[in-house]
Structure 1
Amino acid sequence: MSNFISGLLRFRRGPWEMLASILIALGVVMLMQPFAITLYSWSFLITLIGTVIFIIVSHFPE
């Protein structure tokens, strides 16, 4: 866990890509669930943030 946090703080690609992928997956799960309209309404924004982070992180050093 400390390697993950230090990777985030040092702007390394691996931890940031994992965070972006988790956000994208979370957004998709929020989009497909039928129970809470609040989660559904935030799903597009979460997916969009994850996608933008992933695009930016692809330029970070490995």
Structure 2
Amino acid sequence: MSPTRRTAVAAGVFFLITEIAAIAGLVLYRPALTDADYVLGAAPTLGCCSAGSSS
């Protein structure tokens, strides 16, 4: 396999990994993107989020 072909295959593999990660991210962020109460409602994890900014 020539070096150019090997580089093209590596770029293609990284592109596929990027696309799979983007789809997985969309699935994980769907509640935040579609449900207004997810952002505007009471946050059960407020303590862990505000602990870092309280110092």
Tell me if TM exceeds 0.5.
Answer: no
TM superposition score normalised by structure 1: 0.36
- TM-score w.r.t. length of structure 2: 0.40
Higher relative contact order (Cα pairs below 8 Å, separated by 6+ residues): 1
